[in-house]
Structure 1
Amino acid sequence: MDDKLTTQEYWEAYYKRNNVSKQQIINVCSQYDTYWDLLFGDKPEGKNLIEIGGFPGRYLAYLASKYNVKPTCLDYNSDAKQIEASFNVLDVNDYDILQKDFTTYETPKTYDYVISNGFIEHFEDFNSILDNHVSYLNEHGKMLIMIPNMKGYIKLYKRLVDPKNLAIHNLKCMSLDVFRDFATRHNLKIKELTYFGGFPHAVHQELNIVQKVIYKLHRLFFKKIANKWVNKYPSKQFSSTILAIFEKK
């Protein structure tokens, strides 16, 4: 299986200048605390967790520190030092790093919790990638998957100011029905399925003058005014993320 929309070189360059700080990790990861609590439940201590495409390890470090679970990072990025730095800054000492390609690696063990953030949308055959996640889940396991939402009005915005980033994402997977069908295929119970987050105004490329105007107007409007309502009433049109939590029946 090799239908990736990105390359290993792309991701290594993307995270090359990633700086690790405790507060930055907490700021990024804590916004999902409501959903982490739903995933881990009352007594997660001593259980294990794997993140598919886990580089640079900030979610794993945060969750291991907060819930006292043992984390495993699976990612084909060749720089393990950044992953180790994420764990170290949150004083997580017991962890595993698997520098493997998820599309070819066959796991010898299963896990209590599986998470995947911003991963499946970088493949043409996203359903096969989704299906392979289940092979990592143990008999009573739970899984959380997050992907960006680039449909609705967001798609128009991205076409205007962020087309290069739009091109490496498979928008076909950005539908709640994709996750409903996934749950049905594998007899999984859906614990949560929702749009989440404010409008994603950030861009990943150099902008011309017109694009800068569009970007700055959207950043101002959504940060100062509209995101209050977008966060309260999440939707396909304006919310940045699709989030799903599953449990084996």
Structure 2
Amino acid sequence: MANLLTDRAFWVNYWESKKGLAVQLPSNYLFHRQLAEIISKNSVKNAIELGGFPGYYAVFLKKYFDLDVTLLDYFVHPPVVNELLEKNGLTEKDIHIIETDLFNYQPEQTYDLVLSCGLIEHFNDTADIIKRHIAFVKPGGTLFITLPNFKAVNGWFQKNFDKENYDKHNINSMDPALLKRICEEAGLKDVKSGYFGRFSIWLENEAEKSAGVRLFKKLVWLSGKIFTRIIPFESKSLSPYIILEARK
């Protein structure tokens, strides 16, 4: 499993450290415009979120688009998922859950929409993990992948103030041209890959950082927001995310 930059213990500790995971998801949740366009344009009926515990996007797609949704992850803690569902007016019957190792699982069905948000960058072999996504996409279906852009200012912040978290990411995967090439070589069409968002920075478990780090982060965040409001653009240096979209 050399391809994997994290293990089960990492994710158990990661999620156990999080508080307030059950939140009410708004209709303008991150990437909502892109997802709404895909669903409308391609008459999407079902979707699977890979590596998405506690299932924010699966819940979002069920809540606002009434899709038949599935959540697949290596680690799933049902009480957390159920609390998230309840917070959003749903029940455990509204979502299918598959707890499995993606590397030892053969898809039992394919989907109109296959998405992951913040998954592929945790693997050394970017082409391999993307191909595992593609295996879930039905002919004519859509692949939608997002990942953080740690080649931007946010990455500098992570590297300097949360090196342990930074090292859990494959920085080389954060390349829109690479992602597009992998999809095209895999036979996908209508491939779009690029930077998303004008500016943002974050730190995992920020409350545990020193007061000085938190203050510095706030100042950088505010300065970046003001700058990109005056001169709005998306770029490798500032944009916090990368989006990859393709058709099978």
**What TM-score results when the alignment is normalised by the length of structure 2?**
0.87
> Is residue 62–residue 94 contact of structure 2 (8 Å, CA) maintained in 1?
no
> Residue by residue, what CA displacement relative to the aligned partner does 1:131-169 show, whole Å, maximum 9, x if unpaired?
111110111111110000000443333332232221111
After superposition, the Cα gap between the structure-2 partners of 1:247 and 1:107, relative to the gap in structure 1 and judged at 3 Å, is same
Aligned-partner SS, 2:94? coil
Q: Which amino acid aligns with 1:226?
A: F
Aligned-partner SS, 1:202? coil
Percentage identity across aligned positions?
Answer: 26
Q: Which amino acid aligns with 1:36?
A: L
> Residue by residue, what CA displacement relative to the aligned partner does 1:23-58 show, whole Å, maximum 9, x if unpaired?
xx227x62322201222124646x211011020111
Q: Which moved more, 1:192-201 or 1:143-152?
A: 192-201
CA drift of 1:124 comes to 1.1
After superposition, the Cα gap between the structure-2 partners of 1:157 and 1:21, relative to the gap in structure 1 and judged at 3 Å, is closer
Question: 1:12-23, aligned counterparts within 5 Å?
Answer: 12-16=12-16, 17-22=19-24
> Is residue 153–residue 201 contact of structure 2 (8 Å, CA) maintained in 1?
no
CA RMSD of aligned residues (A): 2.2
After superposition, the Cα gap between the structure-2 partners of 1:241 and 1:229, relative to the gap in structure 1 and judged at 3 Å, is farther
Aligned equivalent of 2:146: 146
Aligned-partner SS, 1:30? coil
Runs of 4+ aligned structure 1 residues displaced above 3 Å come to 42-45, 152-155, 205-214
Using the alignment, how far apart are the partners of 1:129 and 1:159 within structure 2? 24
> Is residue 190–residue 244 contact of structure 1 (8 Å, CA) maintained in 2?
no
CA drift of 1:210 comes to 5.6
How many corresponding residue pairs?
242
Residue segments in structure 1 that go unaligned for 5+ positions in a row: none
> Is residue 44–residue 67 contact of structure 1 (8 Å, CA) maintained in 2?
no
Q: Which amino acid aligns with 1:79?
A: H
> Is residue 177–residue 193 contact of structure 2 (8 Å, CA) maintained in 1?
no
Q: Which amino acid aligns with 1:68?
A: D
